[in-house]
Chain A
Amino acid sequence: MTDGRAPGAAVLPQNPLTSPSGGLQSVEMDPVEYTLRKRLPRKLPKRRNDVYVNMKTDFRAQLARCQKLLEGGGHREICVHGLGLAINRAINIALQLQASSQGALQLAANTSTVELVDDLEPDDPDEAPGEPMTRTRNNSAIHIKVYYPSP
């Protein structure tokens, strides 16, 4: 609880202005700096015809993979999953598959919420009084079934 422990340089110049009683209070209020680490989303079931879309892989490669499953792989239906930012890409892939099949493929979309866990680790474990924490947040997801309707 000494003044020297406040690592945030931005807080110290404000002390004479904001807290007339002294620097001690503002040291207590100084938020501990954390590093936020995002854990990977929970493991999902993976069948042969499940495609999990991400934003790192090339779009055309993911589209080609879906086309290969439907045409060469002999699957009557595949499931395209997208989480968060990849929702747009999953929808794009599904609509392009449908467009390139001249209407033979049908789409059935479902939405869900995925719970994600973040780890908060204090930057300086020796000095800072903070403890490692976890925080959960929700993110939206979409699951699109792309299939040939049974006659």
Chain B
Amino acid sequence: MEPQPASFLSNFKRVGRREDPDPHPIPGLPADILHMRVKEGSKIRNLLRFATARMQGPGQGGGGGGGGGGGALRQVVFTGSGRSLTKTITCVEILKRQVGGLHQVSKLCNNTVSEAWESLRKGVPGVTICRTVPALTILLSMDPLDPQEPGYQPPQRDPHGPPSQHMAPGAKRVRLEEGNRELPSTSSV
């Protein structure tokens, strides 16, 4: 008795899942960079608490989570795939608002997911299924990045930005600049 194609996998149990990320989505990254892997069940507050503590350093940040010597980090990478794409972007957007003056490069790619399925009945061999899922890699950096790189975004000056950035002329002009994203920002910190 051959199983029907529709209920084919109902006789199987998933025993393993491996996701192979694109090895070099953004060229020229150091190997020891802080890599935040956003998953479907990750809590945004947990991710951001960790990332802001590491980026603002042990002295400034409220949390003492940024252990290890060396001070604050200058760069962080966020990756997410499949259903966590939206969460990845939300994390990056909130972090950009909390930590001002961040340069950004976003890259889209396809990740390969290979799943191993094992049959529930004896004597039937297991199968491996390969699928591709869309994935997103975003690099945030306090140091300037290459503006010619596809997917580059300069830092935005935000009216609700951190208090360290001084905004004298009032909020109206800043709002105008924020709305017009096509203009390259001429001055930074």
Contacts and interface: CB of A to CB of B under 8 A. Distances in A.
A145 to B, nearest CB: 8
Interface in B106-145: 106-110, 134, 136, 138
Contact of A87 (B89, B97, B150): B89
Contact of B134 (A91, A106, A112): A91
Interface string A80-98: 0000110110011011000
B79 to A, nearest CB: 13
Given A91-B108, A95-B108, A109 B136 contact: yes
Given A87-B85, A88-B86, A140-B93, A110 B134 contact: no
B90 interface: yes
B86 A85 contact: yes
Interface residues of A, number: 23
B56 interface: no
A111 B134 contact: no
Contacts of A140: 86, 89-90, 93
Interface in B46-81: none
Interface in A98-130: 99, 106-113
B92 interface: yes
A142 interface: yes
Contact of B86 (A84, A94, A113): A84
Contacts, number: 56
B151 A108 contact: yes
Given A108-B150, A111-B104, A111-B106, A95 B89 contact: no
B181 A107 contact: no
A142 to B, nearest CB: 6
A109 B134 contact: no
A107 B110 CA distance: 12
Given A111-B106, A112-B181, A140-B93, A91 B151 contact: no
B25 to A, nearest CB: 11
B98 interface: no
Given A95-B108, A95-B134, 13 more contacts: A87-B86, A88-B134, A92-B134, A94-B108, A95-B109, A109-B107, A109-B151, A111-B153, A112-B181, A138-B93, A140-B89, A141-B89, A142-B89
Interface of B: 83, 85-86, 89-90, 92-93, 97, 104, 106-110, 134, 136, 138, 150-153, 181
9 contacts: A87-B85, A87-B89, A91-B134, A99-B110, A106-B150, A109-B108, A109-B136, A110-B151, A140-B86
Interface of A: 84-85, 87-88, 91-92, 94-95, 99, 106-113, 138, 140-142, 144-145
